[in-house]
Amino acid sequence: MPAAAKTMVVKIGSSTVTEPGTGVNRSFIARLAHEAVELRSLGWNLVVVSSGAIACGAPVLGFSTRPADMPSLQACASVGQCVLSAAYDEEFRACGLATSLVLLTRHDTARRQSYLHARDALTRLVELGVVPVVNENDTVSVDEIRFGDNDTLAALVACLVSADLCVTLSDIEGLYTANPSIDPNARFVPRVEKIDAAIIASAGDSSSSVGTGGMITKIRSSRILMTAGIPSVICSGADEGALARLARGEQVGTLFVPPHARTDIAPRKLWIALGDAAHGSVSVDDGAARALVERGSSLLPVGITAVEGQFEAGDVLDVRDAGGFVLARGIAEAGSDELQLAAGRQQREIAGNHLLQALAGRPAIHRDNLIVFA
């Protein structure tokens, strides 16, 4: 492989890597393994982020449909991860490629030291020619089972390994202006250069009974990747040869084009964007929104119009504009009770209030702890 090999992160949804009622889709994984070999010949490393553990484990344990209770979901994930990992190992080994299993939870990545260890381990695996297969540790990660977040995990992994492209293989060929399964007038969108409120609104729910994510999580993840300067693609997992065609620069699915080339965003800011779930949010007025987006300013209490959720200083917050659109994410300098009292107040008012004096001269979110999305 060329010394300057590129890295492609491929996220595979449950509906792609499994077959209804039977478990793992061996033929798909075999095809992926052969395509990984072709990618190597084209100068690309491959990192796989794979859903499907629960769907693979359910038939083994006698469930005809996805169970509803949490202990059963965890049991299915535990059994299914073995089935899924064995399938990847056997099919890739048959093509001369080694795989590894990397299980992550949001709890792991929320701790910065663990985040950095995960980065180092994944980077070394790629350097050694291994194809890492990454998944949520659904056996213990209760929130991830409930909400499904492998799209965000794929974005996280893409940033960890400094990927050149992140591809989501889905049960749909890309982004549409509306949900094509219910709207006959929905139009395919081949290219997105900015994710705005209209793009977010066009995302429909997942059409799959085995997956837990939907188009909205894919769009949000693509937005974070655009912020990091990493192109991403959503395309159909049934489209044979799609990865190799993408590696050759061909048009496949919907391409999300970042506004700039890949940049060295501080790892801390990527951790803020991806490593932990938001514990609350603040809404800001138009002036504060412009200051954040156009000037890279800190967020001052005077620009806050509303505070939602219960959080403490040091927690991660979403920052919303007047229309409710998330434009940034950052680490709170104060808890929700303090910020509710300080919201809309000038610094001199804060300094004169003995309940808020700890915030005097300090922002609500410092710009060093704030990432503004593309």
Instruction: Say whether 171 counts as a known binding-site residue.
Output: yes
Instruction: Say whether 51 counts as a known binding-site residue.
Output: yes
Instruction: Say whether 218 counts as a known binding-site residue.
Output: yes
| 368: DSSP letter | G
Instruction: Say whether 265 counts as a known binding-site residue.
Output: no
Short-list 58, 106, 107, CA closest to 83: 58
Alpha carbons within 13 angstroms on the beta-carbon side of residue 206 total 19
Instruction: Say whether 217 counts as a known binding-site residue.
Output: yes
SS3 18: strand
Instruction: Say whether 150 counts as a known binding-site residue.
Output: yes
Question: What tokens appear for 285 in the block?
Answer: 């007025």
Helix 267-274 and helix 112-127: axis angle, to 10°? 110
Instruction: Say whether 145 counts as a known binding-site residue.
Output: no
| 309: DSSP letter | S
φ, ψ for residue 273, nearest 5 deg: -70, -35
- Contacts of residue 205, defined as CB under 8 A and 6 or more positions apart, other chains included, come to 179, 214, 215, 216
CB atoms within 10 A of CB 5: 16
Q: Residue 320: what residue type?
A: R
Instruction: Say whether 214 counts as a known binding-site residue.
Output: yes
Instruction: Say whether 352 counts as a known binding-site residue.
Output: no
Binding residues: 11, 51, 138, 150, 170-171, 212-218
Residues of the binding site for substrate: 51, 138, 150
State the binding site for ATP: 11, 170-171, 212-218
